Amino acid sequence: MYNHEKFITAALYSIINQTLPPKEIIVIDDGSLDGSGALVEAVAEARPKIIFWSHPNRGAHNTINAGIHRASGDLVAILNSDDVYEPTRLERAAKALLARPEADVLMTSLKFINDDGAEISNPWFDRAIGFYHECNDLGLALVNGNFFMTTSNLVARRSLFSEVGYFADLRYAHDLDFFLRLVGHGKIIEYIDEKLLSYRLHGNNTISENHSKVKIEWAAAVAIYLHSRWSISVSPMRWNRSGHYLDILRKHELTELVLMFLAFFESNNVQTLERNTWQQDPSFMSALQAVKQ
């Protein structure tokens, strides 16, 4: 949770009112400056299964990781404080993962809502998921457009995180990086083609802040994914797909940025963005700025 006084109550009650109630609800206030914390405390007062604490602002990736480390259940579901679960989401997820024990993660389709909770259209999402249905290549489709959209869409076995790692120190692309890491590690993603999550589009969505910064992190996530698929992945790249990836990079004007990252990762032996070093390298950052201009 971060500065979502207007939305946190709806998010919390969408968890409380699940047809399969969770074992515990962990709420972490990432240094909010509004009244979000007081609203959570009011809801949590008579509900001992709600675990709540605040810490200074550390970013979404750090806060989500802290919640995962605190979780004690076998399944972990994430919900950002401006999104909303459909009432049957957790029940459907648990049943699907029980029926398919080889699956590591579950995602669903989603609908889009505005500030007031009314459903709205999202043509970008329709195009992105349409591309996936056309190409039938999850990695390629996610590089083209992250149609899983958000960490709120993730229901995972807790053991998964010790296998593939946690969320990287990225402001805009920590979700995309993690989803691509799942693909690179050959993890099985169960998908329910029903709108069991509502993703809220509003003026303060992080992804809408700065397109150039989003693009740099997008390129970093794509580059580390390609680097792993071409070198260390348990799910190696099929070379006949390489041309399709190049087409996507050209389409989104990512080619030069991705090449820069590939060179940096290779020369610095970077295997994962969890422990990235590029943001602390002034000369590389300067080169990135020159490329994107």
Report pLDDT for 109: 95
Q: How far apart are CA 140 and CA 230, in angstroms?
A: 14
Q: What letter does residue 49 receive in the DSSP assignment?
A: T
Residues 94 and 109 in one domain: yes
Residues 127 and 264 in one domain: no
Q: pLDDT tens digits, residue range 113-141?
A: 999 999 999 999 999 999 999 999 999 99
Q: Write out the residue range of the structural domain in which residue 263 sits.
A: 211-292
Query: What count of other Cβ atoms lies within 10 Å of the Cβ of residue 272?
Result: 18
Q: How many domains does the chain have?
A: 2
Residues 179 and 241 in one domain: no
Q: Which of 155, 182, 208 is at the close of a domain?
A: 208
Instruction: Tell me whether strands 105-113 and 189-200 are parallel, antiparallel or unpaired.
Output: parallel
Residues 73 and 27 in one domain: yes
Q: What is the CATH number of the domain that holds 196?
A: 3.90.550.10
Residues 200 and 215 in one domain: no
Residues 62 and 120 in one domain: yes
Q: Which long-range contacts (CB under 8 A, 24 or more apart) does 120-129 make?
A: 120/201, 122/201, 125/149
Q: What's the rounded mean pLDDT across residues 195-218?
A: 82
For the chain, the first-to-last Cα distance in angstroms comes to 34
Q: pLDDT tens digits, residue range 35-90?
A: 999 999 999 998 999 999 999 999 999 999 999 999 999 999 999 999 999 999 99
Is 3 part of any domain? no
Residues 230 and 196 in one domain: no
Residues 141 and 68 in one domain: yes
Report pLDDT for 292: 62
Is 1 part of any domain? no
Residues 198 and 273 in one domain: no
Q: Which of 180, 208, 236 is at the close of a domain?
A: 208
